[in-house]
Amino acid sequence: MNRESRTMQVADAVTASRAPENTPAMVKKIGKTTYKVHVHFSNTSTETMSDKIKRMLKNEIQQM
C-alpha cells in the first residue's frame, strides 16, 4: 500500500467519524482513488457564500 492510499484512508476515517450519515456527499473517482466529500455549513456564520468566494479571490490576487 503506498503512502497516498494510506493518507486517503486516514482522511476518510476522520471524515466518516465527523459527518452525519444523512449528509449529502460528492463522490469522485480519479484513477484508482475515490474521493468522498461531505459539505458542512456553520449555523452561526454571518458571511454568505458569495462573500466568502469574493474574499478568497481577493486574498488569492494579493498573494500573487
Give the residue extent of every domain in the chain.
Answer: 3-63
Q: Which residue has the cell 460528492?
A: 26
Amino acid identity of 46? T
Q: Are 24 and 43 in contact (CB under 8 A)?
A: no
What is the enclosing helix (H) or strand (E) of 59? helix 49-63
Say whether pTM exceeds 0.85: no
Contact 57, 44 (CB under 8 A): no
Tell me the one-letter amino acid at 60.
E
Give pLDDT tens digits for 13-51. Answer: 555 556 556 667 789 999 999 998 887 778 898 998 899
